[in-house]
Structure 1
Amino acid sequence: MIQRDIARWAKMVEKYLDEQIPVSSTLHQSMKYSLLSPGKRLRPALILATGTMFGQHEQNLLPFAAAVECIHAYSLIHDDLPCMDNDDLRRGQPTNHRIFGQAIALLAGDALQTLAFELMTRKTSVSDSIQINVIRTLAEAAGMQGMVLGQTADMEAEQNREASLEDLEFIHLHKTGKLLQACVVIGGLTAAVSPSDHEHLRAFGGHLGMAFQIVDDILDVTGDTAILGKTVGSDEAHGKLTYPSLLGLSEARARLHSVQEMAFEELSALSVDSDVLQQMLSMVVNRDR
Protein backbone atom coordinates (compact mmCIF):
# COMPACT_ATOMS: atom_id res chain seq x y z
CA MET A 1 0.00 0.00 0.00
CA ILE A 2 2.58 2.56 1.12
CA GLN A 3 4.91 1.69 -1.77
CA ARG A 4 2.16 2.63 -4.24
CA ASP A 5 1.52 5.92 -2.43
CA ILE A 6 5.22 6.80 -2.36
CA ALA A 7 5.60 5.96 -6.05
CA ARG A 8 2.62 8.17 -6.91
CA TRP A 9 3.89 11.02 -4.73
CA ALA A 10 7.36 10.68 -6.24
CA LYS A 11 5.98 11.08 -9.77
CA MET A 12 3.94 14.07 -8.67
CA VAL A 13 6.93 15.80 -7.06
CA GLU A 14 9.28 14.96 -9.96
CA LYS A 15 6.83 16.35 -12.54
CA TYR A 16 6.40 19.52 -10.50
CA LEU A 17 10.17 19.98 -10.09
CA ASP A 18 10.87 19.27 -13.76
CA GLU A 19 8.51 22.10 -14.69
CA GLN A 20 10.30 24.58 -12.43
CA ILE A 21 13.73 24.41 -14.09
CA PRO A 22 14.31 25.30 -17.74
CA VAL A 23 17.09 23.51 -19.60
CA SER A 24 18.66 26.64 -20.97
CA SER A 25 22.16 26.43 -19.51
CA THR A 26 24.74 24.04 -18.07
CA LEU A 27 23.68 25.18 -14.61
CA HIS A 28 20.11 24.02 -15.21
CA GLN A 29 21.30 20.71 -16.64
CA SER A 30 23.45 20.15 -13.56
CA MET A 31 20.54 20.99 -11.23
CA LYS A 32 18.21 18.55 -12.98
CA TYR A 33 20.88 15.84 -13.17
CA SER A 34 20.95 15.50 -9.38
CA LEU A 35 17.45 16.66 -8.52
CA LEU A 36 15.68 14.20 -10.83
CA SER A 37 18.08 11.26 -10.57
CA PRO A 38 16.48 8.04 -9.28
CA GLY A 39 15.87 8.33 -5.55
CA LYS A 40 13.61 7.27 -2.71
CA ARG A 41 11.87 10.70 -2.43
CA LEU A 42 11.38 9.85 1.24
CA ARG A 43 11.46 13.44 2.45
CA PRO A 44 8.70 14.83 0.22
CA ALA A 45 6.72 11.63 0.85
CA LEU A 46 6.89 12.29 4.59
CA ILE A 47 5.41 15.76 4.11
CA LEU A 48 2.64 14.43 1.88
CA ALA A 49 1.93 11.45 4.13
CA THR A 50 1.76 13.48 7.33
CA GLY A 51 -0.22 16.36 5.85
CA THR A 52 -2.83 14.17 4.18
CA MET A 53 -3.07 12.02 7.30
CA PHE A 54 -4.38 15.10 9.09
CA GLY A 55 -6.69 16.12 6.22
CA GLN A 56 -4.56 18.53 4.16
CA HIS A 57 -4.86 18.47 0.36
CA GLU A 58 -1.92 17.16 -1.69
CA GLN A 59 -1.81 20.22 -3.95
CA ASN A 60 -1.28 22.50 -0.95
CA LEU A 61 1.58 20.28 0.21
CA LEU A 62 3.30 19.94 -3.15
CA PRO A 63 5.41 23.17 -3.11
CA PHE A 64 6.75 22.28 0.34
CA ALA A 65 7.43 18.67 -0.62
CA ALA A 66 9.31 19.83 -3.73
CA ALA A 67 11.25 22.39 -1.71
CA VAL A 68 12.61 19.84 0.73
CA GLU A 69 13.74 17.63 -2.16
CA CYS A 70 15.68 20.63 -3.52
CA ILE A 71 17.40 21.04 -0.16
CA HIS A 72 18.21 17.33 -0.03
CA ALA A 73 19.61 17.30 -3.58
CA TYR A 74 21.77 20.36 -2.90
CA SER A 75 23.18 18.72 0.23
CA LEU A 76 24.10 15.56 -1.70
CA ILE A 77 25.88 17.52 -4.45
CA HIS A 78 27.95 19.40 -1.90
CA ASP A 79 28.52 16.33 0.28
CA ASP A 80 30.06 14.47 -2.69
CA LEU A 81 32.54 17.24 -3.59
CA PRO A 82 36.29 16.57 -3.26
CA CYS A 83 36.54 19.05 -0.39
CA MET A 84 33.92 17.05 1.53
CA ASP A 85 33.52 13.26 1.02
CA ASN A 86 35.02 13.11 -2.49
CA ASP A 87 32.60 10.46 -3.74
CA ASP A 88 32.35 9.23 -7.34
CA LEU A 89 28.96 7.50 -7.21
CA ARG A 90 25.51 8.66 -6.11
CA ARG A 91 22.19 6.92 -6.77
CA GLY A 92 23.93 4.53 -9.12
CA GLN A 93 25.43 7.18 -11.40
CA PRO A 94 28.51 9.44 -11.39
CA THR A 95 28.34 12.27 -8.88
CA ASN A 96 27.48 15.72 -10.16
CA HIS A 97 30.99 17.15 -10.08
CA ARG A 98 32.29 14.16 -12.08
CA ILE A 99 29.97 15.15 -14.93
CA PHE A 100 29.84 18.94 -14.73
CA GLY A 101 33.01 19.87 -12.82
CA GLN A 102 33.37 21.16 -9.30
CA ALA A 103 32.46 24.78 -9.98
CA ILE A 104 29.17 24.03 -11.75
CA ALA A 105 28.28 21.39 -9.16
CA LEU A 106 28.84 23.89 -6.37
CA LEU A 107 26.69 26.49 -8.11
CA ALA A 108 23.97 23.95 -8.89
CA GLY A 109 23.76 23.15 -5.19
CA ASP A 110 23.54 26.86 -4.38
CA ALA A 111 20.76 27.33 -6.94
CA LEU A 112 18.76 24.36 -5.65
CA GLN A 113 18.94 25.72 -2.12
CA THR A 114 17.54 29.10 -3.16
CA LEU A 115 14.93 27.48 -5.42
CA ALA A 116 13.58 25.67 -2.37
CA PHE A 117 12.68 28.92 -0.65
CA GLU A 118 11.26 30.38 -3.84
CA LEU A 119 8.92 27.38 -4.15
CA MET A 120 7.73 27.72 -0.56
CA THR A 121 6.47 31.24 -1.22
CA ARG A 122 4.07 30.00 -3.90
CA LYS A 123 0.45 30.80 -3.12
CA THR A 124 -1.71 27.96 -1.79
CA SER A 125 -4.75 27.86 0.47
CA VAL A 126 -2.39 27.45 3.44
CA SER A 127 -2.46 30.64 5.52
CA ASP A 128 0.43 33.13 5.41
CA SER A 129 1.27 32.49 9.07
CA ILE A 130 1.52 28.74 8.49
CA GLN A 131 3.59 29.33 5.36
CA ILE A 132 6.04 31.44 7.38
CA ASN A 133 6.28 28.73 10.06
CA VAL A 134 6.99 26.11 7.41
CA ILE A 135 9.73 28.23 5.83
CA ARG A 136 11.29 28.87 9.24
CA THR A 137 11.14 25.17 10.13
CA LEU A 138 12.96 24.11 6.97
CA ALA A 139 15.53 26.92 7.23
CA GLU A 140 16.38 25.97 10.81
CA ALA A 141 16.60 22.25 9.98
CA ALA A 142 18.87 22.82 6.97
CA GLY A 143 21.10 25.57 8.32
CA MET A 144 23.61 26.43 11.02
CA GLN A 145 21.66 24.67 13.78
CA GLY A 146 20.72 21.65 11.66
CA MET A 147 22.09 19.83 8.63
CA VAL A 148 25.07 22.11 7.97
CA LEU A 149 26.11 21.97 11.61
CA GLY A 150 25.88 18.19 11.50
CA GLN A 151 27.98 18.01 8.35
CA THR A 152 30.62 20.18 10.01
CA ALA A 153 30.68 17.98 13.11
CA ASP A 154 30.93 14.90 10.88
CA MET A 155 34.00 16.27 9.11
CA GLU A 156 35.64 17.28 12.37
CA ALA A 157 34.99 13.84 13.89
CA GLU A 158 37.12 12.27 11.14
CA GLN A 159 40.13 13.82 12.85
CA ASN A 160 39.02 12.94 16.40
CA ARG A 161 39.90 9.37 17.33
CA GLU A 162 38.42 9.85 20.84
CA ALA A 163 34.91 10.75 19.66
CA SER A 164 32.11 9.36 21.82
CA LEU A 165 28.60 7.96 21.40
CA GLU A 166 27.33 11.41 22.37
CA ASP A 167 29.35 12.93 19.49
CA LEU A 168 27.97 10.34 17.09
CA GLU A 169 24.35 10.96 18.10
CA PHE A 170 24.87 14.71 17.73
CA ILE A 171 26.16 14.21 14.17
CA HIS A 172 23.33 11.89 13.17
CA LEU A 173 20.63 14.05 14.75
CA HIS A 174 21.80 17.16 12.93
CA LYS A 175 23.26 15.92 9.65
CA THR A 176 20.35 13.61 8.77
CA GLY A 177 17.75 13.70 11.51
CA LYS A 178 16.86 17.38 11.55
CA LEU A 179 15.73 17.45 7.91
CA LEU A 180 13.68 14.24 8.21
CA GLN A 181 12.15 15.56 11.42
CA ALA A 182 11.31 18.83 9.69
CA CYS A 183 9.41 16.97 6.96
CA VAL A 184 7.10 15.34 9.50
CA VAL A 185 6.66 18.61 11.40
CA ILE A 186 5.95 20.55 8.19
CA GLY A 187 3.24 18.09 7.21
CA GLY A 188 1.61 18.68 10.57
CA LEU A 189 2.03 22.46 10.43
CA THR A 190 0.20 22.70 7.11
CA ALA A 191 -2.78 20.92 8.66
CA ALA A 192 -2.71 23.06 11.83
CA VAL A 193 -2.43 20.06 14.15
CA SER A 194 -2.93 20.37 17.89
CA PRO A 195 0.05 21.19 20.16
CA SER A 196 -0.05 17.59 21.46
CA ASP A 197 0.07 16.09 17.96
CA HIS A 198 2.81 18.56 17.00
CA GLU A 199 5.01 17.36 19.87
CA HIS A 200 4.44 13.69 19.07
CA LEU A 201 5.25 14.34 15.39
CA ARG A 202 8.40 16.22 16.34
CA ALA A 203 9.55 13.39 18.61
CA PHE A 204 8.68 10.74 16.03
CA GLY A 205 10.58 12.65 13.33
CA GLY A 206 13.67 12.77 15.52
CA HIS A 207 13.57 9.00 16.10
CA LEU A 208 12.89 8.37 12.40
CA GLY A 209 15.91 10.46 11.43
CA MET A 210 18.13 8.58 13.87
CA ALA A 211 16.85 5.22 12.61
CA PHE A 212 17.49 6.24 9.01
CA GLN A 213 21.11 7.14 9.72
CA ILE A 214 21.79 4.02 11.78
CA VAL A 215 20.54 1.93 8.85
CA ASP A 216 22.80 3.95 6.54
CA ASP A 217 25.77 3.18 8.80
CA ILE A 218 24.94 -0.52 8.81
CA LEU A 219 24.43 -0.69 5.05
CA ASP A 220 27.80 0.96 4.46
CA VAL A 221 29.28 -2.15 6.05
CA THR A 222 26.88 -4.88 4.94
CA GLY A 223 25.28 -3.50 1.76
CA ASP A 224 25.88 -4.05 -1.94
CA THR A 225 27.18 -1.17 -4.06
CA ALA A 226 24.97 -2.20 -6.99
CA ILE A 227 21.86 -2.01 -4.79
CA LEU A 228 22.86 0.99 -2.69
CA GLY A 229 23.83 3.11 -5.68
CA LYS A 230 26.84 4.44 -3.80
CA THR A 231 30.18 3.00 -2.78
CA VAL A 232 30.04 0.54 0.11
CA GLY A 233 32.78 1.05 2.70
CA SER A 234 33.21 4.77 2.06
CA ASP A 235 32.55 5.63 5.73
CA GLU A 236 35.42 3.44 6.89
CA ALA A 237 37.65 4.70 4.08
CA HIS A 238 37.06 8.30 5.21
CA GLY A 239 37.49 7.44 8.88
CA LYS A 240 33.93 8.49 9.68
CA LEU A 241 32.35 8.03 13.07
CA THR A 242 29.49 5.50 12.70
CA TYR A 243 27.53 3.13 14.92
CA PRO A 244 29.30 0.00 13.61
CA SER A 245 32.74 1.62 13.96
CA LEU A 246 32.01 2.76 17.51
CA LEU A 247 29.77 -0.03 18.86
CA GLY A 248 30.03 -2.89 16.39
CA LEU A 249 27.30 -4.27 14.14
CA SER A 250 25.41 -6.17 16.84
CA GLU A 251 25.10 -3.15 19.13
CA ALA A 252 24.25 -0.93 16.16
CA ARG A 253 21.32 -3.20 15.30
CA ALA A 254 20.20 -3.23 18.93
CA ARG A 255 20.25 0.55 18.99
CA LEU A 256 18.21 0.63 15.78
CA HIS A 257 15.56 -1.63 17.36
CA SER A 258 15.37 0.62 20.43
CA VAL A 259 14.94 3.77 18.35
CA GLN A 260 12.28 2.08 16.21
CA GLU A 261 10.29 1.18 19.33
CA MET A 262 10.43 4.76 20.60
CA ALA A 263 9.23 6.02 17.23
CA PHE A 264 6.26 3.63 17.27
CA GLU A 265 5.32 4.83 20.75
CA GLU A 266 5.09 8.43 19.53
CA LEU A 267 2.90 7.41 16.59
CA SER A 268 0.54 5.46 18.84
CA ALA A 269 -0.10 8.64 20.84
CA LEU A 270 -1.37 10.66 17.84
CA SER A 271 -5.03 11.65 17.59
CA VAL A 272 -5.43 10.11 14.13
CA ASP A 273 -4.72 6.73 12.54
CA SER A 274 -0.96 6.73 11.96
CA ASP A 275 -0.74 3.55 9.87
CA VAL A 276 0.84 5.35 6.91
CA LEU A 277 3.72 6.67 9.04
CA GLN A 278 4.08 3.29 10.75
CA GLN A 279 4.54 1.70 7.34
CA MET A 280 7.08 4.35 6.33
CA LEU A 281 9.05 3.76 9.53
CA SER A 282 9.15 0.01 8.86
CA MET A 283 10.23 0.70 5.29
CA VAL A 284 13.11 2.91 6.50
CA VAL A 285 14.28 0.33 9.03
CA ASN A 286 14.09 -2.65 6.64
CA ARG A 287 15.46 -1.00 3.49
CA ASP A 288 18.46 -2.31 1.56
CA ARG A 289 19.45 0.98 -0.07
Structure 2
Amino acid sequence: MVEASMESWRARVDAALAVALPSPDTSPQRLHAAMRHAVLLGGKRMRPMLVYATGALFDADAARLDGAAVAVELIHAYSLVHDDLPAMDDDALRRGQPTVHVAFDDATAILAGDALQSLAFQALSLAPVEPVVAVQLMRTLAEAAGAGGMCGGQALDLDATGAATTLTVADLERLHSLKTGALIRAAVRMGALVGGADEARLALLDRYAAALGLAFQVRDDILDVEGDSATLGKTPGKDAAQSKATFPGLLGMTEARARLDELGHAMTDALASFGERAAPLAALGEYAIRRAN
Protein backbone atom coordinates (compact mmCIF):
# COMPACT_ATOMS: atom_id res chain seq x y z
CA MET A 1 0.00 0.00 0.00
CA VAL A 2 2.76 2.44 0.96
CA GLU A 3 4.85 1.57 -2.10
CA ALA A 4 1.81 2.02 -4.35
CA SER A 5 1.17 5.45 -2.84
CA MET A 6 4.80 6.45 -3.38
CA GLU A 7 4.75 5.41 -7.01
CA SER A 8 1.47 7.23 -7.55
CA TRP A 9 2.79 10.43 -5.98
CA ARG A 10 6.04 10.25 -7.93
CA ALA A 11 4.19 9.82 -11.22
CA ARG A 12 1.80 12.59 -10.27
CA VAL A 13 4.48 15.17 -9.50
CA ASP A 14 6.54 14.19 -12.57
CA ALA A 15 3.50 14.82 -14.77
CA ALA A 16 2.73 18.10 -12.99
CA LEU A 17 6.33 19.30 -13.34
CA ALA A 18 6.36 18.52 -17.06
CA VAL A 19 3.23 20.63 -17.49
CA ALA A 20 4.45 23.49 -15.28
CA LEU A 21 7.79 23.86 -17.08
CA PRO A 22 7.89 25.92 -20.28
CA SER A 23 8.07 24.07 -23.59
CA PRO A 24 11.55 23.72 -25.09
CA ASP A 25 9.98 24.60 -28.44
CA THR A 26 9.11 28.15 -27.37
CA SER A 27 11.50 31.10 -27.13
CA PRO A 28 13.94 31.39 -25.43
CA GLN A 29 14.51 27.73 -26.27
CA ARG A 30 17.94 27.40 -24.66
CA LEU A 31 16.71 28.69 -21.31
CA HIS A 32 13.64 26.46 -21.40
CA ALA A 33 15.72 23.42 -22.32
CA ALA A 34 18.08 24.14 -19.42
CA MET A 35 15.16 24.40 -16.99
CA ARG A 36 13.78 21.06 -18.13
CA HIS A 37 17.25 19.48 -17.96
CA ALA A 38 17.52 20.61 -14.34
CA VAL A 39 14.16 19.18 -13.30
CA LEU A 40 13.13 16.26 -15.47
CA LEU A 41 16.27 14.09 -15.69
CA GLY A 42 15.57 12.03 -12.59
CA GLY A 43 15.71 12.84 -8.90
CA LYS A 44 14.38 11.26 -5.73
CA ARG A 45 11.33 13.56 -5.50
CA MET A 46 11.68 13.29 -1.72
CA ARG A 47 10.29 16.76 -1.05
CA PRO A 48 7.13 16.51 -3.16
CA MET A 49 6.45 13.06 -1.76
CA LEU A 50 6.68 14.57 1.72
CA VAL A 51 4.03 17.10 0.69
CA TYR A 52 1.68 14.35 -0.51
CA ALA A 53 2.40 12.00 2.40
CA THR A 54 1.76 14.72 4.98
CA GLY A 55 -1.37 15.94 3.23
CA ALA A 56 -2.66 12.37 3.15
CA LEU A 57 -2.52 12.31 6.96
CA PHE A 58 -5.36 14.81 6.90
CA ASP A 59 -7.21 13.41 3.86
CA ALA A 60 -6.21 16.37 1.69
CA ASP A 61 -7.10 15.87 -1.95
CA ALA A 62 -4.01 15.34 -4.12
CA ALA A 63 -5.11 18.07 -6.53
CA ARG A 64 -4.92 20.60 -3.67
CA LEU A 65 -1.37 19.42 -2.90
CA ASP A 66 0.01 19.54 -6.45
CA GLY A 67 0.99 23.22 -6.34
CA ALA A 68 3.04 22.81 -3.17
CA ALA A 69 4.61 19.57 -4.44
CA VAL A 70 5.66 21.20 -7.72
CA ALA A 71 6.86 24.39 -6.03
CA VAL A 72 9.12 22.69 -3.50
CA GLU A 73 10.73 20.52 -6.18
CA LEU A 74 11.35 23.55 -8.41
CA ILE A 75 13.06 25.36 -5.52
CA HIS A 76 15.14 22.26 -4.83
CA ALA A 77 16.11 21.99 -8.51
CA TYR A 78 17.08 25.66 -8.70
CA SER A 79 19.27 25.25 -5.61
CA LEU A 80 21.10 22.32 -7.21
CA VAL A 81 21.72 24.25 -10.44
CA HIS A 82 23.31 27.11 -8.52
CA ASP A 83 25.09 24.81 -6.04
CA ASP A 84 26.87 23.04 -8.93
CA LEU A 85 28.22 26.26 -10.47
CA PRO A 86 31.99 26.87 -10.56
CA ALA A 87 31.57 29.72 -8.07
CA MET A 88 29.91 27.31 -5.60
CA ASP A 89 30.72 23.58 -5.45
CA ASP A 90 31.94 23.35 -9.08
CA ASP A 91 30.47 19.95 -9.92
CA ALA A 92 30.15 18.44 -13.40
CA LEU A 93 27.76 15.58 -12.61
CA ARG A 94 24.23 15.57 -11.17
CA ARG A 95 21.74 12.67 -11.27
CA GLY A 96 24.13 10.84 -13.58
CA GLN A 97 23.96 13.66 -16.15
CA PRO A 98 26.11 16.70 -16.91
CA THR A 99 25.20 19.59 -14.63
CA VAL A 100 23.32 22.47 -16.23
CA HIS A 101 26.33 24.79 -16.55
CA VAL A 102 28.27 21.96 -18.23
CA ALA A 103 25.44 20.95 -20.56
CA PHE A 104 24.71 24.57 -21.46
CA ASP A 105 26.89 27.34 -19.95
CA ASP A 106 27.31 29.27 -16.71
CA ALA A 107 25.08 32.20 -17.69
CA THR A 108 22.26 29.94 -18.86
CA ALA A 109 22.53 27.93 -15.64
CA ILE A 110 22.19 31.08 -13.53
CA LEU A 111 19.16 32.20 -15.52
CA ALA A 112 17.62 28.73 -15.38
CA GLY A 113 17.93 28.69 -11.59
CA ASP A 114 16.40 32.15 -11.33
CA ALA A 115 13.52 31.16 -13.60
CA LEU A 116 12.84 27.94 -11.67
CA GLN A 117 12.62 29.91 -8.44
CA SER A 118 10.04 32.33 -9.83
CA LEU A 119 8.11 29.47 -11.45
CA ALA A 120 7.81 27.82 -8.02
CA PHE A 121 5.87 30.76 -6.62
CA GLN A 122 3.76 30.97 -9.76
CA ALA A 123 2.80 27.32 -9.19
CA LEU A 124 1.80 28.10 -5.61
CA SER A 125 -0.29 31.07 -6.75
CA LEU A 126 -2.31 28.73 -9.00
CA ALA A 127 -2.95 26.08 -6.33
CA PRO A 128 -6.68 25.44 -5.70
CA VAL A 129 -6.57 26.32 -2.01
CA GLU A 130 -8.17 29.01 0.14
CA PRO A 131 -6.46 32.43 -0.11
CA VAL A 132 -5.32 32.30 3.54
CA VAL A 133 -3.72 28.90 2.93
CA ALA A 134 -2.06 30.14 -0.27
CA VAL A 135 -0.43 32.97 1.69
CA GLN A 136 0.74 30.50 4.37
CA LEU A 137 2.25 28.27 1.69
CA MET A 138 4.08 31.14 0.01
CA ARG A 139 5.43 32.41 3.30
CA THR A 140 6.57 28.93 4.34
CA LEU A 141 8.43 28.33 1.09
CA ALA A 142 9.93 31.83 0.93
CA GLU A 143 11.28 31.58 4.48
CA ALA A 144 12.73 28.12 3.80
CA ALA A 145 14.43 29.22 0.58
CA GLY A 146 15.86 32.54 1.73
CA ALA A 147 18.61 33.88 3.95
CA GLY A 148 16.99 32.34 7.02
CA GLY A 149 16.91 28.93 5.35
CA MET A 150 18.51 27.32 2.32
CA CYS A 151 20.48 30.34 1.02
CA GLY A 152 21.74 31.11 4.51
CA GLY A 153 22.86 27.52 4.90
CA GLN A 154 24.69 27.66 1.59
CA ALA A 155 26.45 30.85 2.70
CA LEU A 156 27.56 29.10 5.89
CA ASP A 157 28.72 26.14 3.82
CA LEU A 158 30.83 28.38 1.58
CA ASP A 159 32.32 30.08 4.64
CA ALA A 160 33.16 26.66 6.08
CA THR A 161 34.91 25.35 2.95
CA GLY A 162 38.49 24.68 3.94
CA ALA A 163 37.56 24.89 7.62
CA ALA A 164 37.00 21.21 8.36
CA THR A 165 39.03 21.38 11.55
CA THR A 166 37.39 24.47 13.06
CA LEU A 167 33.66 23.67 12.93
CA THR A 168 31.97 21.92 15.84
CA VAL A 169 29.21 19.32 15.47
CA ALA A 170 26.72 21.96 16.66
CA ASP A 171 27.95 24.36 13.96
CA LEU A 172 27.58 21.65 11.32
CA GLU A 173 24.08 20.71 12.46
CA ARG A 174 22.99 24.36 12.30
CA LEU A 175 24.49 24.73 8.82
CA HIS A 176 22.61 21.72 7.50
CA SER A 177 19.40 22.51 9.35
CA LEU A 178 19.32 25.54 7.05
CA LYS A 179 20.90 24.29 3.82
CA THR A 180 19.15 20.90 3.64
CA GLY A 181 16.65 20.81 6.48
CA ALA A 182 14.73 24.03 5.85
CA LEU A 183 13.25 22.89 2.55
CA ILE A 184 12.40 19.45 3.94
CA ARG A 185 10.62 21.05 6.89
CA ALA A 186 8.78 23.34 4.46
CA ALA A 187 7.60 20.38 2.37
CA VAL A 188 6.12 18.68 5.43
CA ARG A 189 4.59 21.88 6.73
CA MET A 190 2.99 22.77 3.39
CA GLY A 191 1.31 19.38 3.17
CA ALA A 192 0.01 19.83 6.70
CA LEU A 193 -1.23 23.36 6.03
CA VAL A 194 -3.22 22.23 3.00
CA GLY A 195 -4.64 19.46 5.19
CA GLY A 196 -5.73 21.92 7.88
CA ALA A 197 -3.45 20.62 10.65
CA ASP A 198 -3.69 22.27 14.07
CA GLU A 199 -0.71 23.77 15.91
CA ALA A 200 -0.08 20.65 18.02
CA ARG A 201 0.15 18.42 14.99
CA LEU A 202 2.23 20.97 13.10
CA ALA A 203 4.71 20.92 15.98
CA LEU A 204 4.96 17.11 15.92
CA LEU A 205 5.46 17.11 12.17
CA ASP A 206 8.13 19.79 12.43
CA ARG A 207 10.00 17.58 14.92
CA TYR A 208 9.80 14.71 12.44
CA ALA A 209 10.94 16.90 9.55
CA ALA A 210 13.85 18.40 11.52
CA ALA A 211 15.17 14.91 12.31
CA LEU A 212 14.60 13.82 8.71
CA GLY A 213 16.49 16.78 7.26
CA LEU A 214 19.49 16.16 9.46
CA ALA A 215 19.40 12.40 8.82
CA PHE A 216 19.34 13.04 5.07
CA GLN A 217 22.53 15.09 5.35
CA VAL A 218 24.35 12.68 7.67
CA ARG A 219 23.62 9.91 5.17
CA ASP A 220 24.77 12.16 2.32
CA ASP A 221 28.09 12.72 4.10
CA ILE A 222 28.54 8.97 4.61
CA LEU A 223 27.78 8.28 0.96
CA ASP A 224 30.29 10.93 -0.14
CA VAL A 225 32.94 8.81 1.58
CA GLU A 226 31.71 5.35 0.60
CA GLY A 227 29.87 5.84 -2.70
CA ASP A 228 30.91 5.88 -6.34
CA SER A 229 29.75 8.13 -9.15
CA ALA A 230 27.81 5.36 -10.92
CA THR A 231 25.69 4.73 -7.82
CA LEU A 232 25.47 8.28 -6.52
CA GLY A 233 24.86 10.01 -9.85
CA LYS A 234 27.24 12.76 -8.74
CA THR A 235 30.94 13.14 -7.95
CA PRO A 236 31.97 11.40 -4.70
CA GLY A 237 34.79 12.60 -2.45
CA LYS A 238 34.05 16.28 -3.04
CA ASP A 239 33.79 17.10 0.66
CA ALA A 240 37.26 15.79 1.49
CA ALA A 241 38.77 17.39 -1.60
CA GLN A 242 37.39 20.79 -0.55
CA SER A 243 38.25 20.24 3.14
CA LYS A 244 34.62 20.57 4.19
CA ALA A 245 33.44 19.60 7.66
CA THR A 246 31.29 16.46 7.54
CA PHE A 247 29.64 14.26 10.14
CA PRO A 248 32.00 11.31 9.50
CA GLY A 249 34.92 13.71 9.59
CA LEU A 250 33.93 15.23 12.94
CA LEU A 251 32.40 12.18 14.60
CA GLY A 252 34.04 9.25 12.85
CA MET A 253 32.07 6.79 10.75
CA THR A 254 30.87 4.69 13.68
CA GLU A 255 29.47 7.68 15.56
CA ALA A 256 27.97 9.13 12.39
CA ARG A 257 26.04 5.90 11.89
CA ALA A 258 24.96 6.02 15.55
CA ARG A 259 23.70 9.58 14.99
CA LEU A 260 21.64 8.30 12.07
CA ASP A 261 20.04 5.71 14.34
CA GLU A 262 19.24 8.39 16.93
CA LEU A 263 17.57 10.51 14.28
CA GLY A 264 15.58 7.50 13.10
CA HIS A 265 14.23 7.02 16.63
CA ALA A 266 13.38 10.73 16.84
CA MET A 267 11.32 10.46 13.66
CA THR A 268 9.49 7.40 14.97
CA ASP A 269 8.67 9.17 18.25
CA ALA A 270 7.38 12.27 16.48
CA LEU A 271 5.04 10.21 14.29
CA ALA A 272 3.83 7.80 16.99
CA SER A 273 0.53 9.54 17.73
CA PHE A 274 -0.49 9.46 14.05
CA GLY A 275 -0.52 5.65 13.97
CA GLU A 276 -0.64 3.70 10.71
CA ARG A 277 -1.73 6.75 8.76
CA ALA A 278 1.86 8.01 9.05
CA ALA A 279 3.30 4.89 7.37
CA PRO A 280 4.31 6.79 4.20
CA LEU A 281 6.16 9.41 6.26
CA ALA A 282 7.84 6.67 8.27
CA ALA A 283 8.89 4.97 5.05
CA LEU A 284 10.39 8.20 3.71
CA GLY A 285 12.31 8.60 6.96
CA GLU A 286 13.62 5.06 6.69
CA TYR A 287 14.63 5.68 3.09
CA ALA A 288 16.57 8.80 4.12
CA ILE A 289 18.77 6.88 6.54
CA ARG A 290 19.22 3.73 4.41
CA ARG A 291 19.44 5.10 0.84
CA ALA A 292 22.32 4.20 -1.46
CA ASN A 293 22.28 7.43 -3.51
The amino acid across from 1:17 in the alignment is L
Question: Secondary structure in 1 aligned to 2:88?
Answer: coil
Number of the residue aligned with 1:12: 12
Distance 1:123 1:71, change over 3 A: closer
Between the aligned residues of both structures, percent identity stands at 42
Query: What is the aligned partner in structure 2 of residue 152 from structure 1?
Result: 155
| Unpaired stretches in structure 1, ≥5 consecutive residues | none
Secondary structure of the residue aligned to 2:36 is helix
Instruction: Determine the structure 1 residue equivalent to 2:47.
Output: 43
* Structure 1 residue 272, shift from structure 2 partner: 7.1
1:219-230 to structure 2, matched below 5 A, reads 219-230=223-234
Asked if the contact 1:200/1:270 (under 8 Å) is kept, the reply is no
* Matching residue of 2:23: 22
1:255-278 per-residue CA deviation (whole Å, 9 max, x = no partner) reads 111111111100003377311111
Among residues 61, 68, 71, which one is paired with 1:67 in the alignment? 71
CA distance in structure 2 between the aligned counterparts of 1:271 and 1:281, rounded to whole angstroms: 15
Instruction: Could you tell me which runs of 5 or more consecutive residues in structure 2 were left unpaired when the two chains were aligned.
Output: none
Aligned position for 1:127: 130
Structure 1 pair 226–50 and aligned structure 2 pair: CA distance change class (3 A) = same
Moved over 6 A (4+): none
Separation of aligned partners in 2, 1:13 and 1:255: 32
Larger mean Cα displacement after TM superposition, 152-161 or 69-78: 152-161
Contact (CA 8 Å) 2:140, 2:186: kept in 1 or not?
Answer: yes
Instruction: Report the secondary structure of 2:180's partner residue.
Output: helix
Q: Equivalent residues in 2 for 1:149-228 (5 A)?
A: 149-160=152-163, 161-228=165-232
Q: Does 1:277 align with 2:281?
A: yes
Instruction: Tell whether the 8 Å contact from 2:162 to 2:242 is kept in structure 1 after alignment.
Output: no
2:217 alignment partner AA? Q
Instruction: Indicate the residue corresponding to 2:3 in structure 1.
Output: 3
The whole-number CA distance in structure 1 between the counterparts of 2:100 and 2:263 is 33
Maintained 8 Å contact 1:2/1:280: no
Q: CA deviation at 1:123?
A: 4.3
**1:77 match:** 81
Q: Indicate if the aligned counterparts of 1:218 and 1:244 stay in contact, CA closer than 8 A.
A: yes
Counterparts of 1:56 and 1:223, CA distance in 2: 38
Contact 2:180/2:213, CA 8 A, preserved across alignment:
yes
Show CA shifts across 1:108-131 (max 9, x none): 00000000000000041x211111
What's the counterpart of residue 104 of structure 1? 108
Cα distance between partner residues in 2 of 1:260 and 1:277: 12
Paired residue type of 2:23: P
Find the residue that maps to 1:267 and give its secondary structure: helix
Q: CA deviation at 1:194?
A: 1.6
- For the 8 Å contact 2:67–2:127, the answer to whether it is kept is no
C-alpha distance in 2, partners of 1:195/1:148?
27
Q: Secondary structure at the match of 1:269?
A: helix
**Relative to structure 2, which stretch is displaced further, 11-20 or 214-223?**
11-20
- Report the Cα distance in structure 2 between the residues aligned to 1:35 and 1:183, rounded to whole angstroms: 17
- What is the rounded CA distance, in whole Å, between the counterparts of 2:7 and 2:228 in structure 1? 23
TM normalised by structure 1 equals 0.97
